Structure 1
Amino acid sequence: MAKVLMRASLVAVSLVWVLAAQTVLAAEVKRYVVEGSRAAELDSCVEPTERMRRMHFEFIKHQRISTVHEGIRGTKYSLAGCVECHISYEEQQPQPIDRPDQFCGACHAYAAVDLNCFDCHASVPNGGGLDAEAQAAHRAAGVEKLVQSGRNGEGH
């Protein structure tokens, strides 16, 4: 009887730990969409959220091939598009997206994955800081602005 009671207690404690861990992980995952970014205002990315979490690297690799080898810029999966949408601003200055408390940096640190995109690519949009009016226009312009600037050879 004592063994059964002990096993039941261990199972109950284990379940409590699993539920607590899932709650903490859910809170951790939500923080990767940084407040103050355009992405925080959207329901999903260019693909459903779960698909982006699982496959974003494949999308970026495919985009790299299209851009570097075929000269196609400004498509749906451009790195510049990721930065434009997921970057946040503090005191009207864009914060580098690869910082440990920002979108790419936080998620890659959590997953223990090396983040080397920004060894070569800009971690903030070209043009530096924006005033409040420019930030609002920037958010309103959305992806269409990115597509147009990519076709003109601007940005990364």
Structure 2
Amino acid sequence: MAKAVVRAGLVAVGLAWALIAQVALAAEMKTYVVAGSQAATLDSCVEPTDIMRRKHMEFIQHQRDKTVHGGIRSSKHSLSGCVDCHVRDEPDGEAVPIHQKQEFCGACHAFTAVNLNCFDCHAAVPKGPGAALASKAAYQAVGLEQSPRAVSDGKEH
């Protein structure tokens, strides 16, 4: 009987710790926007936040299909639009690649344990000064010399 009471007490303490950790994590990831990015200065994304959290991949895939199959290039749900808005800059002006674990896409995908392979081919920083260096540094951070796409066709992208 005493063992059962101790076991129940340990289970209760474990559940309490799990609940506290979950609440703390939820509070920490409340905004899902990285300070220093353009998105941090805006009231909302291209869609309401709750919709973007649930359907961003559908928007990106739909935009991909319109662009690749129909040649229609708009920016409302484009991946480059996400990158332009959600990437933050270091104090020296260098863009921080969006898919690194502490950044916007990387942090959420790491939290949800979802593979983030968009940036195997797509730029993880906005185009502009320093973009090539930041992109190369991001690939090196994950153990690659250059993007897999560049390796496959022998061209630097």
Does TM-score exceed 0.5, indicating one fold?
yes
- Determine the structure 2 residue equivalent to 1:122: 123
- Determine the structure 2 residue equivalent to 1:95: 96
8 Å Cα contact 1:32/1:102 also seen in 2: no
- Counterpart of 2:47 in 1: which secondary structure? coil
CA shift at 1:9, angstroms? Answer: 7.0
8 Å Cα contact 1:98/1:104 also seen in 2: yes
Structure showing greater relative contact order (alpha-carbon pairs closer than 8 Å, 6 or more residues apart):
1
1:37-73 CA deviation, whole Å, 9 max, x = no partner? 0111222211111111111001100000011011111
- Determine the structure 1 residue equivalent to 2:40: 40
Q: Which runs of 5+ in 2 are unaligned?
A: 132-157
- Determine the structure 1 residue equivalent to 2:81: 81
* Counterparts of 2:44 and 2:10, CA distance in 1: 39
TM-score by length of 2: 0.69
- Counterpart of 1:93 in 2: which secondary structure? coil
1:16-35 CA deviation, whole Å, 9 max, x = no partner? 44652342222342363111
* Counterparts of 1:25 and 1:46, CA distance in 2: 26
8 Å Cα contact 1:89/1:95 also seen in 2: yes
* Counterparts of 1:117 and 1:15, CA distance in 2: 36
* Counterparts of 1:77 and 1:70, CA distance in 2: 15
* Counterparts of 1:22 and 1:122, CA distance in 2: 33
1:103-124 CA deviation, whole Å, 9 max, x = no partner? 1111111111111101111111
Q: Summarize the Cα distance change of 1:57–1:16 in structure 2 as closer, same or farther, 3 Å threshold.
A: same
Structure 2 residue identity aligned to 1:86:
H
Q: Which runs of 5+ in 1 are unaligned?
A: 131-156
Structure 2 residue identity aligned to 1:26:
A
Structure-to-structure mapping, 1:44-83, within 5 angstroms = 44-83=44-83
- Determine the structure 1 residue equivalent to 2:155: none
- Counterpart of 2:29 in 1: which secondary structure? helix
- Counterpart of 1:92 in 2: which secondary structure? coil
* Counterparts of 2:15 and 2:112, CA distance in 1: 24
